[in-house]
Structure 1
Amino acid sequence: MNWEQKVRQQEKGRQFEERFSRIHYKYDRQDVQKMSESRNDRKELSEPLKWFAFKDQYFSAIVIGERPFSNTILTSEVLKDENYTKDYKAEVWVPGEVSADSDLISAGFKYYFGPVHYNTLKAYDKEVVDSSGKLKLEEVVYLGYRWLSWVNKWFVIPV
């Protein structure tokens, strides 16, 4: 599967907007990883991937596989175009099943197209019992520097 998105510039402050736009991804049963927000970046990932997210300052497009993706190539390119700030690309091998009756190939996905909102994204893990199987989509939300993120997570967001 090939997935591409150009991030439209929404404000006059291009540098500020670029700072909060990046690709996030999560290996199956591991932590969330991030790509560079300030320069061109390319990752060739051989380990199974649970999801990837194309994020701008306010919104995110997240593709979650029912079964982990493999042989993934993620690319983020900073654009000098006056209408777009970045070009995101994902090339993923999607595991599928062939139907014995009709020779159709099926692969399951979940998509999230919406705001970068901590509680909305965290709600995707409410029914997950095994902590290693959690999606941790809320980690695409920038909560400040590491020491400040704990304050925001435990004291500011609950209010």
Structure 2
Amino acid sequence: MTSAIIGLIGAALGALTAVIGSTLSERRQARHEAAAWRRDQRAAAYDGVFRALTRAASYRHKIPVQGAPDQSLLQQWFDDLVEAQYRLRLLTAHCHRPGGGTSLPVAVERINTALALLGEGDLAKASDAADETAELIARCARIDMGNEPTPPST
């Protein structure tokens, strides 16, 4: 009778160990998949912003320095900056950590400035603000990928 009770206790402990091990394994797998999903979302967000800013820069360089610029080029430049602004907001949703040292809110501010300056017709300053936005985002990407140390929080 005693050996039967010991066997029953052993079986119960074995089953409990299996359940706990399975639960821990599933939780670890879920965390790993969530981290991979976040990494993929960040990569896609950075890619989208860089593509839109690259297109905007290419249209900016097609606009003549002197004379009346072609309105279709200005419209395309504006549209690409608006798309970059939208994608930057997505990037901020996926990557910005308050107090985490990222410059994404500053980049949002700079692209808003670029759009305002473009609307006012100040093409040179709008171009400079768009370039500053790209530099800020590139720095954030380097920090996010671990290629540059995170600056100390202020």
More RCO (CA 8 Å, sep 6+): 1
Q: Normalization by structure 1: what TM-score?
A: 0.23
Decide which structure has greater helix share: 2
Task: Give the greater-gyration-radius structure (CA).
Answer: 2
Q: Normalization by structure 2: what TM-score?
A: 0.24
